[in-house]
Amino acid sequence: MIEVCKDLPGNPVNDRIVGQVVGASGSVGANYREANDALGKKDSLQRMKIAGREAKESHHWLELLLTANSNKESRIKPLMQEADELKKILSSIIGKSQ
C-alpha cells in the first residue's frame, strides 16, 4: 500500500486520498493487533469491528484512488482485492465471536 502511494504523483487530489487510504489501512492492522491484546472478549470484538469498518473505508479510498489514477490499475486493483479479503476474514471472526 505505502509503496504504491509513494509512487503516485503529488497533486491536491492524490495528496488528500493518499492520506486517507494510508490512515484507514494502517488502522486495520492497528485495531487487529489491539483486538489480540484486548482486556476481554467484549473489547476484542469491538476492536475487530473497528478493523472491519476500516477495511471497508480502505476499499472506498482505493476506489477513489483508482478513479484519480486509472493508469495505475494493475497496482491498485490488487490492494482493493486485499481490502475485500480482509473485510471477509474480519466478518467471519466477528460472526464466530458473537
Residue 85's pLDDT band (cuts 50, 70, 90)? very high
Question: What is the share, in percent, of the chain residues with pLDDT greater than 90?
Answer: 91
Residue 11's pLDDT band (cuts 50, 70, 90)? very high
Residue 98's pLDDT band (cuts 50, 70, 90)? confident
Number of Cβ within 10 Å of residue 78's Cβ equals: 12
Which residue ranges make up each domain of the chain? 13-97
- The pLDDT mean for the chain works out to 95
Query: Helix or strand or coil: residue 28?
Result: helix
Helices (H), 11-72: 12-36, 41-68
What does pTM read for this prediction? 0.92
Residue 97's pLDDT band (cuts 50, 70, 90)? confident
Residues 6+ apart with CB under 8 A from 79: 1, 4, 62
Distance CA 62, CA 42 (A): 30
Q: What's the CATH class of domain 13-97?
A: mainly alpha
Give the position of cell 491498485: 76
